[in-house]
Amino acid sequence: MAQAMRPNTVGGLFATDGKPHPLQDTLLAVTLVLGITAFVSAMFHNLHLLSSWAGLVGIATGAYGQWISETTRERFGLILGLGASAVGFFLGMAHGGLFGGVIS
């Protein structure tokens, strides 16, 4: 029964390699927080500055996180954060943009 001694490497969607990835995990958390912030604040027209800037920074951190990610878990979370950031960014741009009303 040699298979009983081997770890399950097939795993599921959130499989990890068992090694710590502090930079990737930090980028994942920042991207998710910025994505949620951008998405929720985009539902209010007067918060377009917050939604557009949070979305833009979320897209940048998510893109860099995707570039250096090593596990499926990281990529899955980053894609969720990137999607929410992009929706928040685009709605924020539609409602007034990055500098709408501040610089005339």
pLDDT in tens, the chain (104 residues): 556 666 655 555 555 787 888 999 999 999 999 999 999 999 999 999 999 999 999 999 999 999 999 998 899 999 999 999 999 999 999 999 899 877 76
For residue 86, CA distances in Å to 34, 73, 92 come to 10, 20, 10
Instruction: Output the pLDDT for position 19.
Output: 83
Inter-axis angle of helices 72-95 and 22-41, nearest 10: 30
Of residues 72, 71, 60, the one with CA closest to residue 27: 60
Instruction: Output the pLDDT for position 42.
Output: 95
Instruction: Output the pLDDT for position 102.
Output: 73
Q: What is the pTM of this model?
A: 0.83
